[in-house]
Structures are given as C-alpha cells and as structure tokens.
C-alpha cells in the first residue's frame, strides 16, 4: 500500500482515539457511581434481612411503644429501603417521648439523608455543631452523631437528633459513610427532647434499645 493511501487510514484512526477515550471515561464513571450508590448489590435475600427490623420489641426498660409512624412514600422511594421501622416510644416514668427509625438499604441513599439535610428542608434551625456520642453495650462500643435544632413547638424550644450507620457491627459516626466498602448499611436515627446534665432522654433510651438492635444486625 502506498504512503498516500496510508494517510487517510491514519487520520481516521486518530479521530477515533478521542471518542474511545470518552466512552471509556463514561463507563468508568458509571461503574464508580453505581458502586458508591450501592445500586449493584449482592443477590442475597435483602428483603428477608430487612424484615427483621420489624421484630424489635415494644418494651425497652421504662420505654414502651406508643405508636408506629409511617415514612412518606416519596421518602421511601428515595431511600430504596430493604426494610425499615419507625416508632415512637414513651417513658412511663417521665412522660418523655422518643421517635426512632431503623432502616436497612443501599449505602448511597442511607448515607446522604442526614438530619442536617432534613431539618433544613422543614425550616428548623441548627443550634450547635454535631458531635460524637458513645453508647456502650456488652458487645460493642457504638458511636453516633448528635445534633440540636430549635423547635418552637417543643416546651424547651429545642430537640436533639442522633444518628449513625452500621455494616453489621457497631454503629459508627462516620464523616463520609458513602465511601464504605459494603453494598448496604443499617441506619439508626432518633429525635427527642434536648438533654442536659443527668437528663439525657435519647441516651437513656439507647441504653435499653441498642442491645435489642444488635440482635438483628448481620
């Protein structure tokens, strides 16, 4: 083949290279995003695993179930939960109430929907920076984030929210839970009266509740 005949072939090949590179970059980006989002999970029966959440007890120490609270349908579509339960417990001695949600689902949706995001979305004002709280049991040392919001509808004007994630072990207060080497995460999120001194309603509730949650973690 003459040198003149080779030139068009070389020009065609040089034009194809950028296209191939772009396609490869797009494919790589899709794989990374799907992995981070937890879209491509393992094929084990996640629904059965998630259904265990509904078996949590109705009584935990002085706290008794007062009602089950539905999560809005559009929120469930975003979270893509394999299983969830949201309940309100009431302390029979103090009358205080705690709202607790336990969820199990793909890492991405579980990681990004935090109380800071939800609170701002309904017009609540954050009154302090989040901090790490520790709840220890005979099996694990759990750590959760806690944050405080102002709430004009509450008697003391403020509420606390605690939350954390688990891959089957202890709950963790991770800064970047979306970057986690697991497909699915458990999430626990609580809200209740802001505590001070010896009066810590959420901490008191978790002392009785977390050992029960440990029994369903895998």
pLDDT at 24: 42
Taking a C-beta distance cutoff of 8 angstroms, is the pair 84, 53 a contact?
yes
For CA atoms 129, 171, 198, 92, the dihedral sign is positive
**Tens of pLDDT, residues 27-65:** 444 434 444 444 444 435 888 999 999 999 999 999 999
CA distance 177 to 26: 24
User: Which strands make up the sheet holding 63-68, listed edge to edge?
Assistant: 59-60, 63-68, 83-91, 97-106, 184-193, 158-166, 141-150, 125-136
pLDDT at 103: 94
Confidence of residue 85 (pLDDT cuts 50, 70, 90): very high
CA distance 74 to 127: 28
Kindly list the domain boundaries of the chain, sorted by start residue.
1-37, 46-214
Taking a C-beta distance cutoff of 8 angstroms, is the pair 50, 83 a contact?
yes
pTM, 2 dp? 0.76
pLDDT at 42: 47
**Tens of pLDDT, residues 87-121:** 999 999 999 999 999 999 999 999 888 888 766 55
Closest among 153, 152, 134, 130 to 143, alpha carbons compared: 134
């Amino acid at each position: 083949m003459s040198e003149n005949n080779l030139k068009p072939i070389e020009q065609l090949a040089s034009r194809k290279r950028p296209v191939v590179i772009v396609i490869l970059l797009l494919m790589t980006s899709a794989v990374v995003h799907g992995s981070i989002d937890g879209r491509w999970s393992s094929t084990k029966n996640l629904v059965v695993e998630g259904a265990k959440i509904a078996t949590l007890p109705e009584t935990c120490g002085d706290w008794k179930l007062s009602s089950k609270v539905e999560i809005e349908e559009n929120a469930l579509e975003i979270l893509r939960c394999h299983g969830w339960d949201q309940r309100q417990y009431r302390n029979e001695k103090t009358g205080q109430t705690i709202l607790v949600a336990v969820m199990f689902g793909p890492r991405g949706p579980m990681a990004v929907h935090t109380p800071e995001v939800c609170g701002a979305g309904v017009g609540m004002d954050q009154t302090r920076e989040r901090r790490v709280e520790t709840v220890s049991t005979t099996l694990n040392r759990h750590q959760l984030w806690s944050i405080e919001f102002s709430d004009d509808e509450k008697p003391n004007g403020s509420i606390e929210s605690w939350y954390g994630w688990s891959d089957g072990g202890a709950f963790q207060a991770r800064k970047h839970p979306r970057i986690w080497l697991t497909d699915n995460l458990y999430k626990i999120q609580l809200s209740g009266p802001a505590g001070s001194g010896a009066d810590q309603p959420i901490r008191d509730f978790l002392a009785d509740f977390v050992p029960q949650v440990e029994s369903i973690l895998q």
